[in-house]
Structure 1
């Protein structure tokens, strides 16, 4: 090979590496670090609707799992406020740590515009502290982690602005399985 061809190949490779590197740093709405082929581990308690959301958008489910961290399994996913009018997607992941359930949540913004979002997980214990993330987000709120989240709740709120009196989304869901 000539020097010019080698230089051209190296330049092309450098550009490809840079592009792949940028993709690896993207958010749940984009391609996950491990890519969509890595798959999302589903919690045994994941219902049919959760499985359908994960199957319809495996890249977002995987990217949210990467944001939550190692060992988390998708327990719950829902398009909000409805499947037909999806402005956001709530992803809830759990993992067993010793004898306790830990939870992680991501609230994906599917509007394509910056919205005020609040994501909160609260335990079902007296005096237990909630974990939350809120602000103006164009991509997602979270991840929010809570240890010992058994029977806790996740709240997902989306408004046009923090001072808006009307919510686009106002949902409360269970963080973990509960008897």
Structure 2
């Protein structure tokens, strides 16, 4: 996986994280391994063990203090994309979520990544969408999650924006946190 360059139609330049990742040999010695949450499932732990560089690169895009809570190869073992979700518990009372959707195909595809907080008062979604050859995101929950249970992450990859969701190469919706 290479997070070195992000190609997005309509995107306004490279992010600072993308610039840092463009020169991995300079920063590789300084980077520490991204932490994995103690409650992460076996699949997430396997991805973290098999592809430490990708897990660290996605965590670097999210920023300091993020812990991997979930990773999934999509749509299946073919791994056209990989979804990474992280949490930052820096205030110790709630966590701020971050997600990165990696394009493992190496060619530009329409991608959409969103985090929607499940709150009764005022649910909010944050979305990154466009034609990306590397990744969509990172997207963050707008505030620290007071209601982590059942917050939703959506990752969609299609050949073009005009394709229906039914024709999507990847169409994954999942809950972050525990849901009843």
Q: Which has the larger radius of gyration?
A: 1
For residue 118 of structure 2, what is the aligned residue in structure 1?
A: 124
TM, length-normalised to structure 2: 0.78
Structure with greater helix share of residues: 1
Distance 1:32 1:112, change over 3 A: farther
What stretches of structure 1 of length at least 5 have no aligned partner?
A: 1-21
5 Å matches for 1:79-94?
Answer: 79-83=73-77, 85-94=78-87
Aligned length: 155
Determine helix, strand or coil for the equivalent of 1:51.
helix
User: Residue 177 of structure 1: CA displacement?
Assistant: 4.0
Shift of 1:33: 4.1
Shift of the alpha carbon at 1:25?
Answer: 3.2
Partner residue in 2 for 1:143:
138
Structure 1 178/94 Cα, relative in aligned 2: closer, same or farther at 3 Å?
farther
Superposition CA RMSD, Å: 2.4
**For residues 118 and 35 of structure 1, what CA distance do their matches in structure 2 show?**
32
List per-residue Cα deviations over 1:66-85 (Å, max 9, x = no partner): 000111100000000002x1
In the alignment, which residue of structure 2 is the partner of 1:167?
Answer: 168
Q: Secondary structure at the match of 1:55?
A: helix
Shift of 1:176: 2.9
Q: Which of residues 37, 43, 52 is equivalent to 1:49?
A: 43
**Structure 2: gaps (5+ residues):** 1-17
What's the offset of the Cα at 1:145? 0.5
Distance 2:154 2:135 in 1: 14
Could you list the per-position Cα deviations for residues 96-139 of structure 1 after superposition, in whole angstroms to 9, with x for gaps in the alignment? 23411210000000011000000000011022211110000000
